[in-house]
A = this chain, B = another copy of it.
Amino acid sequence: MSTAIQRFSPRGTEVEIEEGLGLAPRFDADGLVTAVVTDVKDGAVLMVAHMNAEALALTIETGVAHYWSRSRKALWKKGETSGFLQRVSELRIDCDQDAVWIAVEQIGGAACHTGRRSCFYRRVPLGAAPSPALEMTLTEAGLTFDPATVYRNK
């Protein structure tokens, strides 16, 4: 972890952080940045996850997405169990450097643990009365894999 943190530049002034070319991530109180993951094929948002310094460093170094699992409190090489790795096509960081955007090739076609391509398979209707009912989207609602099979005995 200390090695990973040493990869990054120190946080500088606001101008340096926003306009500079030093990678100086702002990890939150839990040591994490937010990672938005899109499908390089069509730009659909596949998932939102988190990276600690080690996960970010490994993602940059290997070109394969690594995260920090907040539920398991462990480094998480996405696809290690299912085989459905994410090959990173492009990685970007935002203005204040507390979020990254990665465009990935999703091996196996599904990023969501429910078996769907994207975690964002339900739409919230706008202008709705209190407690609107969600709508399944046509494009993302179908299962790409069966979780019961893929995660069996794992």
Contacts and interface: CB of A to CB of B under 8 A. Distances in A.
Question: Taking the full assembly, how many copies of this chain does it contain?
Answer: 2
A95 B99 CA distance: 20
A11 to B, nearest CB: 13
A134 B43 contact: no
A125 B59 CA distance: 11
Interface in A44-94: 44-45, 47-48, 60-63, 88, 90-94
10 pairs of A and B residues whose beta carbons are closest in the complex: A43-B43, A94-B119, A92-B120, A48-B99, A7-B130, A21-B134, A95-B119, A91-B124, A45-B101, A63-B126
B120 A93 contact: yes
Given A48-B36, A95-B119, A120-B93, A127 B61 contact: yes
Contacts of A135: 21
Contacts of A137: 92
B48 A132 contact: no
Contacts of A112: 95
Interface in A25-41: 34, 36, 38
A1 interface: no
Contacts of A18: 114
B23 A124 contact: yes
A60 B128 CA distance: 7
Nearest to A33: B48
30 contacts: A7-B130, A18-B114, A21-B134, A21-B135, A21-B136, A23-B132, A23-B133, A23-B134, A36-B45, A36-B48, A42-B43, A48-B94, A60-B125, A60-B126, A60-B132, A63-B126, A88-B126, A90-B123, A91-B124, A92-B121, A92-B123, A92-B137, A93-B120, A94-B119, A94-B120, A95-B113, A96-B119, A99-B119, A100-B124, A101-B120
